[in-house]
Chains A and B, each alone.
Chain A
Amino acid sequence: MSASVVSGERRKQRRRPRSRATVTSVLGELLLTAGVIVLLFVAWQMWIGDIIINAQKNDEGAAISQQLASSPAPEPPPFEKTDDGTIVYQPVIPAAPAEGEWLGQMLIPRFGADYNKGIYGGTTRAKTLDHLGIGVYTDSKMPGEVGNFAMAGHRTTWGKPFNQLDKLQVGDAIVVETPDGWFTYRFRTLEYVKPNQTEVLLDVPQMPGVATGERYITLTACSPLYSLAERIVAYGVYESFQPRAEGPPTALTDPPPPPAAPSV
């Protein structure tokens, strides 16, 4: 048998019409595809989506901070001088945001120097927590106001802005940036509660009917990770307000603390 005959046969084979796709084969391939897409969805929800959304939100936050820094600073508020000469500004309290309306940016150096997440009104998943970011409880006080500035955020999924709440250390800065300036709070303590224990949102958390005249910040998220059974609550106390004209507070300009490992 000569070589030319073999190649001729091969050519004939190649031209032979393929077996047509049957209903069964198409159905099988569609089912396989559906299975792969479901697996991809799980990978997105548990892992890839967080990477994407987290990066997107931090980029958005950096752009907003940049824009706020480049716009003309509002007139600084009145201040008092303490005995040791430090200047204490009166906080410029922002108006309560409507549902889904932007209030400010959350900066927590412990969560990384680039951590910069938007704060919006409302705590429904559909309108705020999923697509926008950190949500302010409806009856919450505003930053700088006497009482409790209380927010909710995702611990897992949707960019997980509050993933590392359990990694905060006493004294860590929790900074809220608004067009008027920066509110610095200092982290104090963690608490784990049942989802119906809304006393954590009171003006003085867990103390009904008590007024201390203090300003608190409360960050709530789901606990344990990937569960809705409990809530993790991080409390902080107000330290200072820095008007925009004065530049970022030392809490942001100081060397950042070592970044916390992600909670997994």
Chain B
Amino acid sequence: MYAALWRLLPGPWWLKLFILLVLVTAVLYALFWYVFPWVSPFITPGEVDVE
């Protein structure tokens, strides 16, 4: 899967590496800013204010 991704990327190895780093950064941004805040309420414990 990742080997196929590496083959799909154009250019010499350093360009592939650069594109890959940009992609990883984009994925991390999406996870940290959007996906995790959205998914967190489903995972963490429920109400905390008073019992």
SS of B interface (majority): helix
- Contacts A135-B49, A228-B45, A228-B48; is A45 near B40 (CB within 8 Å)? yes
Q: Size class of B's contact patch?
A: 20 to 34
- Among A94-102, A125-133, A182-190, the stretch in contact with B: A125-133
Does chain A have a CB within 8 A of B46? yes
Question: CB within 8 Å of B: which residues of A?
Answer: 18, 21, 25-26, 29-30, 37, 40-41, 44-45, 48-49, 52-53, 123-126, 129-131, 135, 137, 152, 157, 194-196, 198, 220, 222, 228
Among B33, B37, B47, B48, point to the contact of A131 (Cβ < 8 A): B37
Chosen A-B contacts, 24 in total, with CB atoms closer than 8 Å, are: A18-B7, A21-B3, A21-B4, A40-B28, A40-B32, A41-B36, A41-B43, A44-B31, A45-B40, A45-B44, A52-B32, A53-B37, A124-B49, A126-B41, A129-B48, A129-B49, A130-B40, A152-B49, A157-B40, A194-B51, A198-B50, A220-B49, A228-B45, A228-B48
What is the minimal beta-carbon distance from A162 to any residue of chain B, in angstroms?
12
Among A48, A52, A53, A124, point to the contact of B47 (Cβ < 8 A): A124
Q: In the complex, are the beta carbons of B40 and A40 less than 8 A apart?
A: no
Q: In the complex, are the beta carbons of B1 and A26 less than 8 A apart?
A: yes
What is the minimal beta-carbon distance from A2 to any residue of chain B, in angstroms?
27
Among A49, A194, A196, A198, point to the contact of B32 (Cβ < 8 A): A49
